[in-house]
Structure 1
Amino acid sequence: MMSRTATACASVLLVSLLAACGSMSPMMPMKPLYSQAMLPATVQVPAGNKVAMETVGVGDITYQCSPKKDMAGQFEWVFVGPDARLNDRSGKQVGKYYGPPATWESLDGSRLTATQVAVAANGAGNIPTQLVKANPAMGSGAMSGVTYIQRVDTRGGVAPAMACAAANAGSKQVVQYQADYIFYKAM
């Protein structure tokens, strides 16, 4: 058993450490997890833009078994749209991502759509890394002034592995995915 003095010293040390850690958090700005240098050139954001917000999208992507365009009798899984929560780095929901059309919406009501600029492979079983150019935001708030969005660190989300043929044409399958969405604004 510890003596009263040792217990008191341990308690003071623990309280001091917790106070020090608590006082450090607000003073340290959140460091972006992704630098442009670590991403393929095709999905790098043009110079003159800076990170405005980082989110983690967690949700589903729906695919539908449909005929291949201009290929009679052949079928493929076609992307229908996403349905995901956008969380901040602490896990608190700050928005949502849904479609079609692909729409990023903040809980403050501001939202935007975007046009794909480029994609880059991100490993087997993962949807690609992506760069999109934002269209003007609707409403004022977090999405106002966003110029580009990067989808990085993708996990899952690829089309189903099950067969897609005339027998199941029109059927839909939902797959889970996760990806970081990094929002940029002009400097």
Structure 2
Amino acid sequence: MQTRTALSLVAIAALTACASQPMRAPFSQADLPAAVQVPAGHTVVMETAAAGDITYQCRAKKDMAGQFEWVFVGPDAGLKDRSGKVIGKYYGPPATWENNDGSKVTATQLAVAPNGAANIPLQLVKANPAMGMGAMQGVSYIQRVATVSGIAPASTCAKANEGANQLVRYTADYIFYKAM
């Protein structure tokens, strides 16, 4: 009897805690530039926050002898759900979002839109068919929003450091959609 009462009290406490949590509105793309909005007929199925690094490499500019630039190599970031639980990772190339359940998806960029001079752009990508069964199965589009930092380094890129890699920290939200 005491065990049943204790379990009942735990269940009531859990329900009370859930009921006291404010309902969070689903992600709205209303304030995003049209270029990176997901087409009608798709709904948000997962919202994640990413934090990690983008690797840039100092390389010679194509067809511009003696000139160099920092070139995007790829990301390496952890993905958390809105409660802060680690649910996967984002890496590349190719750009790959992988859930802890083993499912993963790659995608093709459709559009970007500026998000300030110090931040990587907002982005819309069309998902390729997912690999593995799980959360990434059926994902149709992914948006990168709320970007902070991540742009190419301001440090010198020249013949003396050609081939050098530099990591740049960034954060962004990745919003996953499926067809309705």
Same fold (TM over 0.5): yes
Deviation at 1:30, TM superposition (A): 3.9
Question: Which amino acid letter does the alignment assign opposite residue 78 of structure 1?
Answer: V
Identity of aligned residues (%): 70
**Number of residue pairs matched?**
168
1:111 paired residue number: 104
| 2:31 paired residue among 30, 38, 59 | 38
Pairwise CA RMSD of aligned residues?
1.7
Match of 2:30, SS? Answer: helix
Instruction: Provide the rounded CA distance (Å) in 1 between the counterparts of 2:178 and 2:170.
Output: 26
1:138 maps to 2:135: no
Question: Which amino acid letter does the alignment assign opposite residue 102 of structure 2?
Answer: G
| 1:60 paired residue among 47, 53, 56 | 53
| 1:22 paired residue among 2, 14, 17 | 17
Runs of 4+ with >6 A deviation: none
Offset from partner CA, 1:106-162 (integer Å, 9 cap, x none): 000000100000000001210000000000000010000000000000001011000
Offset from partner CA, 1:68-127 (integer Å, 9 cap, x none): 111111110000000000001111100100011110000000001000000000012100
1:156 paired residue number: 149
Deviation at 1:21, TM superposition (A): 5.8
Greater C-alpha Rg: 1
Instruction: Provide the rounded CA distance (Å) in 1 between the counterparts of 2:138 and 2:23.
Output: 21
1:121 paired residue number: 114
Structure 2 length normalisation: TM-score?
Answer: 0.89
| 1:85 paired residue among 78, 88, 102 | 78
Instruction: Provide the rounded CA distance (Å) in 1 between the counterparts of 2:18 and 2:128.
Output: 40
Question: Which amino acid letter does the alignment assign opposite residue 155 of structure 2?
Answer: M
Deviation at 1:36, TM superposition (A): 2.1
Instruction: Provide the rounded CA distance (Å) in 2 between the counterparts of 1:113 and 1:62.
Output: 18
5+ long unaligned stretches in structure 1: 1-17
Change (3 A) 1:136 1:20: closer
Deviation at 1:25, TM superposition (A): 4.8
5+ long unaligned stretches in structure 2: 1-12
